[in-house]
Structure 1
Amino acid sequence: MPHDRHDAATGPVESARRTRHLLLGADLRAYQQEHGAFSEEELAEAHARIFGGGPGEHEPA
Structure 2
Amino acid sequence: MNDQVDILTYDIDDVRNELRRFAQYEGITAEEALMDFVKEKTYLGFSFPDPDENRSFYDSLIE
Q: Do both proteins adopt the same fold according to a TM-score greater than 0.5, normalized to the shorter chain? A: no
Larger Rg computed on CA atoms: 1
What TM-score results when the alignment is normalised by the length of structure 1?
0.37
What TM-score results when the alignment is normalised by the length of structure 2?
0.36
Between 1 and 2, higher relative CO (CA 8 Å, sep ≥ 6) is seen in 2
Query: Could you say which structure has the higher strand fraction?
Result: 2
